[in-house]
Amino acid sequence: DIQMTQSPSSLSASVGDSVTITCRASQGIRNSLAWFQQKPGKAPKSLISAAFTLQSGVPSKFSGSGSGTDFTLTINSLQPEDFATYYCQQYLSYPPTFGGGTKVEI
């Protein structure tokens, strides 16, 4: 199975800050990498697929990059609604695997 290592596991930031979350795959996954946002008590929401393709309705403050084994999610100008837990997931092969999550706190 492909292991996904996400870092940091948590971070503290202020409104207006920019933050970057990284995700590393244990083997190359081309660009088959997605990012999800989950708020407390809610289902995950897809933000980005194919490493950098924003899903419909997702603001451009979110951006993804990377290919192969190393990927990043950047969130610019943090707003109160962005404080949540973020997960990466590889979907190149079964089983699709998630990173451990990054909790973005105020």
Partner 1 sequence: EVQLLESGGGLVQPGGSLRLSCAASGFSFSRNAMSWVRQAPGKGLEWISGIRPRADTYYADSVKGRFTISRDNSKSTLFLQMNSLTAEDTALYYCAKGQEDSNYAECWGQGTLVTVSS
52 sits near partner 1 (criterion: CB under 8 A):
no
Cis peptide before 8 (omega within 30 of 0): yes
Determine, following the binding rule CB under 8 A, whether residue 95 of this chain makes contact with partner 1.
yes
Q: Taking contact as CB under 8 A, which single stretch among the options 13-21, 42-50, 63-71, 72-80 is the one that binds partner 1?
A: 42-50
Instruction: Among 2, 25, 32, 84, indicate the residue that binds partner 1 (CB under 8 A).
Output: 32
DSSP string across 1-22? ---EEEE-SEEE--TT--EEEE
Is residue 71 near partner 1 by the rule CB under 8 A? no
Report how far residue 1's alpha carbon sits from residue 96's, in angstroms, rounded to the nearest whole number.
8
Q: Is 34 in the site for partner 1 (CB under 8 A)?
A: yes
Distance CA 35, CA 62 (A): 10
Is the CB of 69 or the CB of 89 nearer to partner 1?
Answer: 89
Q: How many residues bind partner 1 (CB under 8 A)?
A: 23
Contact 92, 50 (CB under 8 A): no
Asked whether 18 and 78 are in contact (CB, 8 A), the reply is yes
Residues that bind partner 1 (CB under 8 A): 32, 34, 36, 38, 43-46, 49, 55, 87, 89, 91-101
